[in-house]
Structure 1
């Protein structure tokens, strides 16, 4: 059976860095916003406290010859959808099969936390790769890398143009990129998360096919080109983030987080079982990860993100000493400006202590 070949030369693979630094971090940031509470905790545990955006480019920085082909897929142009699916199904060691492999690893109960940490970092990155059109493109021009162009009075190539140059032209910082790109409606979120990875790369293939037809070597990319395609880039980054969240929610929404090691717990916090409630000062909750505690603090700000209400104690976001995530019946509590006592297990969420509360009785004021 014939298999479509993929680029496997290490020197080629090293330049295939999809979406660049800003784009990959935007994908991860958007995904983070759409995780369920339990998924967010499991992800944080497997990433050992690092944020998804912090590890979004790890797979590019980790120069591994064995996984270099995972970032892309090369196929001839002109395939119908059926022919495309057949070709992808017959291929291996590429972005599509790597996504399936890493998801399988994250489901594998025999793998340890370190192995799942690596698989998760790859998955976060590869979903972004799958949505960069020039990562599903032709072998003969190395994914557009040999098609030289000019943009913003500088030399570039078709691949780099779509990796980062068009995004950089917007002159937005990372925070604004994630905010401005994350515009999916509830209907779009539902549809995008229902699509399979095969459809993600089919979409990229369709866009890259159009891009090849739109440029000639040496062409000066003008403002009209930018205005035409920046909405496409915004959509692809948003789709990648929304779909990454969907995949992670399916993997981890009902999963139990691995044990998180607790370092430097103060002597005032005894090493007891989580069933025992320990009274701690608000500022010490950061040292009580994995413990069930009771603590008191003033509510400085709250934010309703639909799936939960985030309550910031000790200071307003992002300087809070503890975040309380209200879910279920607890979401109805009105806590703004009040001093409350909260009871629950402390978890690490992106380097900050957090307690999830579903029972209103766990909060007193």
Structure 2
């Protein structure tokens, strides 16, 4: 049986933070899906309207720029002073006067139990819960406000400058080199005894563990220091544990909520039909070369090129085609369901269909439908 010493905490934010990045959240959701009871799996699929848990796991970050969800920014973390005992920590969390990851998890679960809510409301509550359980297990989302959860603590890793929060959000995971499916397979090692123990723990315990870990991270990391290979190995072991625990515990919470629940679909309010004005059909796609894209602005084209690099900016994944940034011949913006392709196309030659536009005088194509990209 694997054993790890926990201790840490984190978090902050004057800006919306993304914990674990896309890969981490998707791995947590994938692990959870494997541990759902049959009835739970059916209800989850109903509430997500057929979307997989991994697809839904990043929604709460993707809406961070939407004004109607501005109030949810504080739901992803909790700010605390360092050096608290467990009793002080619990008291501090309970008495906070603003919404945070703890209160948001409790609210999401309460909404999922509420039989009067609509399918749309259940859908939103479930997507928040899937994401926030992951946030609660990211050590740097349960910590001090003064350095914005480590965002202001500069370090060096893998030869590059970064900050402590970004390191734990995704750079440790990226350095390991697995995609989210490989992570889920590798990290899902808990035996039945561990599963039972982890699922018996409360959200307060999850946060206390993260707080212990973030405390240790702060103690072990000096601003400007280099994260060497030995430090990386210690840190990635904690990442493994926290993502594994988040996946197992998410499944446990969903099984508690849904396994005994009758498989009934929430009643939706009648939808008033809206008159649909036929849109002008797209022009037939034409095949062009990467080097000719600037002369094809506004046209529906098919173009082929090699992917050199990617950047996940929460609301979309930016893909550099034809060369690495800033010399790319095409910037491909993956949005919505197309974002799932990000882990699959890096380094590969792909063929894309879409409408060409210009951004900062460089050709760009926005793709939301994954079927428009072939590789």
8 Å CA contact 2:76, 2:132 repeated in 1: yes
> For each residue in 1:172-202, what CA deviation from the matched residue of structure 2 results, as whole angstroms up to 9, or x when unmatched?
1221110000011111100000000000000
Partner of 2:79: 74
Contact 1:27–1:241 (CA<8 Å) still a contact in 2? Answer: yes
Are the counterparts in 1 of residues 199 and 248 from structure 2 also a CA contact under 8 Å? yes
Change (3 A) 1:73 1:156: same
Indicate the residue corresponding to 2:228 in structure 1.
222
> For the residues of structure 1 that align with 2:234 and 2:179, how far apart are their CA atoms?
21
Aligned match of 2:126 in 120, 125, 137? 120
Secondary structure of 1:76's match? coil
2:136 is equivalent to residue 135 of structure 1: no
- The residue that corresponds to 1:34 in the other structure is 35
Correspondences of 1:188-337 after superposition (within 5 Å)? 188-259=194-265
Deviation at 1:68?
0.4
Larger RCO (alpha carbons 8 Å, 6+ apart): 2
Aligned residues: 252
Q: Provide closer, same or farther for how the CA distance between residues 251 and 146 of structure 1 changes in structure 2, counting only shifts above 3 A.
A: same
Residue equivalent to 2:91: 86
CA RMSD between the two structures? 1.4
Q: Normalization by structure 2: what TM-score? A: 0.66
1:65 paired residue number = 70
- Shift of the alpha carbon at 1:257? 3.1
The aligned residue for residue 17 of structure 1 is: 18
Gaps of 5+ in 1: 1-5, 262-365
C-alpha distance in 1, partners of 2:129/2:167?
24
Tell whether the 8 Å contact from 1:145 to 1:157 is kept in structure 2 after alignment: yes
Q: Structure 1: how far apart are the matches of 2:75 and 2:43?
A: 25
TM-score, length basis structure 1:
0.67
Report how far residue 254 of structure 1 moved. 1.3
- Contact 1:73–1:95 under 8 Å retained in 2: yes
User: Tell me, what secondary structure is at the counterpart of 2:54?
Assistant: coil
CA distance in structure 2 between the aligned counterparts of 1:93 and 1:174, rounded to whole angstroms:
30
Measure the CA separation in 2 of the matches of 1:257 and 1:146.
48
Cα distance in structure 2, aligned partners of 1:153 and 1:18:
23
Q: Distance in 1 between matches of 2:29 and 2:39?
A: 17
- Which is worse superposed, 42-51 or 216-225? 216-225
Q: Distance in 1 between matches of 2:104 and 2:179?
A: 30
Instruction: Tell me, yes or no, if structure 1 residue 104 matches structure 2 residue 110.
Output: yes
Distance 1:124 1:18 in 2: 13
Q: Deviations over 1:295-336 (max 9, x none)?
A: xxxxxxxxxxxxxxxxxxxxxxxxxxxxxxxxxxxxxxxxxx
Indicate the larger mover: 196-205 or 214-223.
214-223
Higher alpha-carbon deviation: 86-95 or 33-42: 86-95
Secondary structure of the equivalent of 1:65?
Answer: helix
CA contact (8 A) 1:46 1:258 kept: no
Aligned equivalents of 2:164 and 2:263: distance in 1? Answer: 42
